[in-house]
Amino acid sequence: MTHVALLLSPLLVLGAFMTDAQAAPRSPRAVLVIHGGAGTIDPSKITPELEKQYHAALTRALEAGYTVLNSGGTSLDAVQAAVIVMEDDPLFNAGRGAVYTSDGHNEMDASIMDGSNRMAGAVASVRGIKNPIKAARAVMEKSSHVMLVGEGAIQFAREQGLELADSAYFGTQRRWEELQRTREEEKKKGEYGSLSFPHTHLGTVGAIAIDTKGNLAAATSTGGLTNKRWGRVGDSSIIGAGTYADNASCAVSCTGRGELFIRSAAAYEVSALMRYKNMDVDAAAKHVIHDDIVKLGGEGTGGLVALDREGRFAMEFNTRGMYRGYIGKDGVPHTFLYKDP
């Protein structure tokens, strides 16, 4: 964790975001942090060309969110803008590029939360919605509910005039081949669900931000788990598990084996540790990823990004890598793939 520790050392954080207050007075604290999934990102198996593509995609997402923040927009709009870029990019397991279910569909989950009022919205197990994060946002703002699932959620998205897309849009050759490989592996190993973790999980996306008014927000979107069955829902659409935001503490977006993040209420736990145990965001994120999740058998299964109301943040994972990045006051995107950059 040298890298993350380095990023979070007080000096560097101050240097990056909190000094030189006279410059860029409109966004003294605006910060955006994103992830594109945690897992076995093996440098020996990713070509330099693919590495470049990931850095470029993360950079585009950071810039999209930062454009919102820098023009005085809300953290809510910023996290949505960043997530949309990643949903639209087939590199990530969300929106276009979502993995295939056992029966060959793309079923997606997403959630969003506004730290200023703790309003939240989520959709789960939806098909054919181009940007599930927009549907989650609509649930928050246009319904009296927090969570809609399945056909009902799709009908709601349609009524809200959200853009739909057919299976050809979501279908990518890479994800189809992953499904075939997973099916083959499962045939050899036996039981469904017996496969080792990172193989089938990589690519959930998320974003957290603080805007110039000091409001926090968080968003998460995923295609879930390759070869998943039975309408399985992970943590990405669960407020408190995969996503949480509260101006009183922090904004959090998680990625990894969703079942463990649900059972440990991972996103909310970061907030609880900060409020009740006076941990800073770094210590709270480390506790959840290297203690809480590991106690449930989750070593090597996930990560999270978390951001406090001072603009300090953590990008913590117990896997070999996590696609991630941040952008602060200076407007320069910083992106990373592996543990040590």
Give φ, ψ of 26 to 5 degrees: -75, -20
Q: Which one of the listed residues 182, 200, 204, 222 is annotated catalytic?
A: 204
User: Pairing relation of β-strands 147-149 and 119-126?
Assistant: parallel
269 contacts a second copy (rule: CB under 8 A): yes
* C-beta atoms surrounding 52 within 10 Å: 11
Q: Please identify, using beta-carbon distances, which residue of 49 and 276 lies nearer to a second copy.
A: 276
Q: Which two tokens stand for residue 282?
A: 């770094």
Long-range contacts of 189-197 (CB under 8 A, 24+ apart): 192/102, 192/227, 192/229, 197/39, 197/257, 197/300, 197/301
**In the set 26, 52, 145, 189, which binds a second copy (CB under 8 A)?**
145
Separation of alpha carbons 65 and 33, rounded Å = 9
177 contacts a second copy (rule: CB under 8 A): no
Q: Which two tokens stand for residue 129?
A: 């919605």
Q: Please identify, using beta-carbon distances, which residue of 174 and 295 lies nearer to a second copy.
A: 295
**In the set 77, 87, 89, 259, which binds a second copy (CB under 8 A)?**
259
190 contacts a second copy (rule: CB under 8 A): no
Q: Per DSSP, what are the bridge partners of residue 307? A: 251, 313
254 contacts a second copy (rule: CB under 8 A): no
Separation of alpha carbons 298 and 289, rounded Å = 8
244 contacts a second copy (rule: CB under 8 A): yes
Is position 204 annotated as part of the catalytic site? yes
Q: What are the b/e assignments for 302-325, b being 16+ CB within 10 Å? A: bbbbbbbbbbbbbbbbbbbbbbbb
- Of 30-38, 47-55, 68-76, 114-122: span binding a second copy (CB under 8 A): 114-122
* C-beta atoms surrounding 47 within 10 Å: 8
**In the set 125, 227, 249, 253, which binds a second copy (CB under 8 A)?**
125
193 contacts a second copy (rule: CB under 8 A): yes
Question: In the bound complex, what is the minimum distance in angstroms from residue 241's beta carbon to a second copy?
Answer: 6
230 contacts a second copy (rule: CB under 8 A): yes
Separation of alpha carbons 91 and 151, rounded Å = 26
Letters for 74-113 (x = contact with a second copy by CB under 8 A, - = none) are ---------------------------------------x
H or E stretch at 37: strand 31-39
Q: Furthest-apart CA pair in the chain: how many Å?
A: 62
Q: Please identify, using beta-carbon distances, which residue of 17 and 100 lies nearer to a second copy.
A: 100
Q: Per DSSP, what are the bridge partners of residue 251? A: 245, 307
Is 41 within 8 Å of 320 (Cβ atoms)? yes
13 contacts a second copy (rule: CB under 8 A): no
213 contacts a second copy (rule: CB under 8 A): no
Separation of alpha carbons 335 and 61, rounded Å = 10
**In the set 9, 19, 71, 155, which binds a second copy (CB under 8 A)?**
155
- Of 82-90, 171-179, 223-231, 319-327: span binding a second copy (CB under 8 A): 223-231
- Of 13-21, 43-51, 119-127, 310-318: span binding a second copy (CB under 8 A): 119-127
- Of 180-188, 256-264, 282-290, 325-333: span binding a second copy (CB under 8 A): 256-264
289-318 binders of a second copy (CB under 8 A): 296
Q: Which two tokens stand for residue 294?
A: 């590991």
The residues binding a second copy (CB under 8 A) are 113, 118-120, 124-125, 143-153, 155-156, 192-194, 228-234, 238-241, 244, 258-259, 262-265, 268-269, 272-273, 276-277, 296
Residues with a catalytic annotation lie at 204
